[in-house]
Every structure is written in structure tokens, then in C-alpha cells.
């Protein structure tokens, strides 16, 4: 029987695991964006980005600190979502954070490492992976030891509460995709002459550890999705819908001056003029079924 070691616990891969989630775990209903029309997508994108710019201006004016963490498996769409969020923001008042391999000191001073890149007053920080790499990726790949993992899990909730008390507004997004969809995106990158470099040797290794990653993800949700700092789970099998859903959630939950968040625009799949991009090649005049088939393989979608 195949087994995965979860730092001291032996968990059979044939046993269906049932975790008692904290009530604060939020899984969003995305049916409002189910029927995707490219023209309506662009309109909705523009409206939401206008509201996000209003939020940023309020952050600047009132010296607020907003930290938005994006977590998820490789190819889930974290980086493209951050680009979507930040496309029209005032550059000097937001920061994109993507930390590399930690030094020995950073690995043993985990929270201090992340403290350095948190937003200052008047800033929005977008974290392309966050301190939660210690909750999933590091233990899965054996980049940290059991003591470091357990220390993190025991301290992180209090650390986030302290940040909130000091004025840092934290939103934690988890972009979730199916194993089949991840395989399609990995293959698309592997075979792309333009994007093959996005697929590292480490990426190739971690995608083979789907079950172990899932175990740590579920444990992270169970222990760190609190009333004051819940996880927001976004289905990212369609990246465009995921971006819209995440940004709309952020704007709905956050107060800012001149807020005017309209209802989502109506979608339609009865228009046969869809366009899609696959590895830099544009396909025009597609019907809805053709469009959805292509975007499943597209790393741009």
C-alpha cells in the first residue's frame, strides 16, 4: 500500500480523508461568469479595474496597507491574476512580491523574511506565493524540516492577527485547479517555443506529488482559515473567470471611497465570433465550443 509521510503521520493514499474545515473557509460561487463572452469579459475587466484604482487611491489617501496573497499549484494562474489586478494601478504605490529560494538565515527566520516585504502605508502588495510556502511546498519538497513546519503552523494565525491589529489588511486567495487541467497546462508549456522556460525542473518534480500536496493543502485550510483571516478558494480551471471572481470578491469585501460596484455583466454563448490565443497564435471566428476547447490548453487563458 502506497503511503505518504505527513511529518510524523502515515496516511494511506487509499483512504478518503475528511477534514473538518473551519467555518471561515470561503468557496466562491462562480456561476455568474459561467457563459463567457470575450467582449463582455473585457467590459467586466474594465469596470472592475476602475474600481480597483479607486481602492488604491483610497489606500494612498488614508495610508492603508493591503496585502493580497495568491497561493495554488503550479499553472493555477497566480501570476497572471496579479498582472490582471495591477495592470492599471499607480506603479509607485503597489509592489509585486515573488521571493526566490530562502537563504539559510531566512529559512530559520521565516516570519522576519516576509515581514520585510509587507506593504508600507499607502501601498498594496501582491504576493505571488506567500509565507504559506512553508505550509505546502516546502514540506512536500523537503525544503524544511518537521520542527520548522510545526512551528510555522502553530504561530501563523497569531502572526496574522498581529498584522491585522497593526493595520495590515490581508486577503488570502487559493487558486484551485483540477489535476487534468494542470497536466494540460504543463504540457502546453513544455511544448511551447515561447514559454518552455516557465517549466523548471522543480516544477516537473512537484507536479508528480499531487496527493502529498493535497494533504498539506487540506491541513493548511483546516488550521489557518480563521474568522479573522479566511482562505478564499477560487476555481481556476478557467483563468479568466478566476481573475474576475477574485477581483470582484476583493472589491465587495473592502471599503473605499466612491465605491460603485455594479452587478456582473450578462454573458452569452450564442455568439460565434470568439477569439483565442494559443502559444501566441490568434484563432478568430470560433464558436463557443471551439473557444472553450482551445482555452483549456492555453497558458494565456
Q: What CA–CA distance (Å, rounded) separates 273 from 285?
A: 4
Is the distance from CB of 63 to CB of 120 less than 8 angstroms?
Answer: no
Q: pTM for the complete prediction?
A: 0.81
As a whole number of angstroms, the distance between CA 27 and CA 246 comes to 11
Write down the pLDDT at residue 198: 77
Distance, CA of 128 to CA of 18 (rounded, Å) = 29
Bridge partner residues of 295 (DSSP): none
- For the chain, which domains are there? 20-268 (3.40.50.300), 273-301 (no CATH)
Asked if 95 contacts 125 with a C-beta cutoff of 8 angstroms, the reply is yes
b/e for 96-126, b at 16 or more Cβ within 10 A? Answer: ebebeebeeeebeebeebbeeebbeebbbbb
The torsion angles phi and psi of 129, rounded to 5 degrees, stand at 75, 150
Q: What is the mean pLDDT of each run of 10 residues along the chain (301 residues)?
A: 40 33 60 70 92 98 98 94 97 96 96 98 98 97 96 98 98 95 87 76 82 96 95 92 93 95 62 57 66 59 44
Can you give the pLDDT at residue 170?
98
Alpha carbon separation from 63 to 49, 166, 197, 251, 258 (Å, rounded): 20, 12, 39, 18, 17
Amino acid at each position: 500500500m502506497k503511503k505518504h509521510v505527513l511529518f510524523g503521520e502515515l496516511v494511506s493514499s487509499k483512504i478518503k480523508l475528511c477534514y473538518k474545515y473551519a467555518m471561515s473557509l470561503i468557496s466562491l460561487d462562480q456561476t455568474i461568469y459561467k457563459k463567457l463572452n470575450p467582449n463582455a469579459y473585457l467590459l467586466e475587466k474594465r469596470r472592475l479595474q476602475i474600481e480597483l484604482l479607486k481602492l488604491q487611491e483610497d489606500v494612498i489617501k488614508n495610508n492603508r496597507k493591503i496585502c493580497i496573497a495568491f497561493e495554488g499549484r503550479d499553472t493555477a494562474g497566480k501570476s497572471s491574476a496579479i498582472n490582471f489586478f495591477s495592470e492599471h494601478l499607480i506603479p509607485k504605490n503597489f509592489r509585486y512580491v515573488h521571493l526566490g529560494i530562502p537563504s539559510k538565515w531566512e529559512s530559520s527566520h521565516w516570519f522576519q523574511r516576509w515581514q520585510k516585504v509587507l506593504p508600507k502605508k499607502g501601498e498594496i502588495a501582491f504576493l505571488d506565493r506567500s509565507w504559506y510556502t512553508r505550509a505546502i511546498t516546502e514540506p512536500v519538497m523537503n525544503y524544511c524540516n518537521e520542527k520548522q513546519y510545526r512551528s510555522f503552523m502553530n504561530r501563523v494565525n497569531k502572526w496574522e492577527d498581529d498584522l491585522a491589529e497593526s493595520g495590515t489588511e490581508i486577503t488570502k486567495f487559493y487558486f484551485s485547479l483540477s489535476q487534468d487541467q494542470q497536466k494540460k497546462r504543463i504540457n502546453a508549456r513544455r511544448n511551447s517555443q515561447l514559454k518552455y522556460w516557465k517549466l523548471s525542473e522543480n516544477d516537473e518534480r512537484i507536479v508528480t506529488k499531487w496527493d502529498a500536496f493535497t494533504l498539506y493543502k487540506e491541513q493548511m485550510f483546516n488550521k489557518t482559515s480563521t474568522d479573522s483571516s479566511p482562505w478564499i478558494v477560487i476555481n481556476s480551471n478557467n483563468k479568466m473567470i478566476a481573475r474576475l471572481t477574485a477581483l470582484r470578491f476583493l472589491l465587495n469585501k473592502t471599503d473605499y471611497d466612491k465605491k460603485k460596484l455594479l452587478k456582473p455583466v450578462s454573458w452569452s454563448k450564442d455568439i460565434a465570433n470568439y477569439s483565442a490565443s494559443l502559444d501566441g497564435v490568434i484563432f478568430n471566428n470560433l464558436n463557443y465550443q471551439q473557444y472553450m476547447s482551445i482555452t483549456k490548453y492555453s497558458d494565456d487563458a
